[in-house]
């Protein structure tokens, strides 16, 4: 079984039922698309970066 398949089988149910939650660092609008890139390049993030459309 691949690592991706193991993750899907073992971890995704915990996200689905709320036991695990992703850490969201910041959200950016599509118009601000350059900002998330520099945010990541400067190692300013901890968690996920969301780009809203």
pTM: 0.59
Say if residues 49 and 28 touch (Cβ distance below 8 Å).
Answer: yes
**What pLDDT was estimated at residue 44?**
83
| DSSP-derived secondary structure for 1-53 | --HHHHHHHHTHHHHHTTSS-PPEEEEEEGGGTHHHHHHHHTT--SSEEEEE-
**What pLDDT was estimated at residue 37?**
87
2/29 Cα distance (integer angstroms): 35
List, for residues 20-46, the tens digit of each pLDDT value. 999 999 999 999 989 988 888 988 888
**What pLDDT was estimated at residue 8?**
94
* Nearest to 28, CA basis, from 16, 17, 42, 38: 38
The domain limits of the chain are 22-53
Considering only residues 44 and 8, tell me which one the structure prediction assigns the higher pLDDT. Answer: 8
């Amino acid at each position: 079984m691949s690592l991706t398949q193991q993750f899907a089988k073992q971890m995704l149910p915990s996200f689905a039922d709320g036991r695990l939650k992703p850490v969201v660092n910041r959200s950016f609008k599509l118009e601000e698309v350059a900002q998330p890139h520099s945010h990541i390049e400067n190692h300013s993030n901890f968690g996920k970066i969301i780009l809203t459309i």
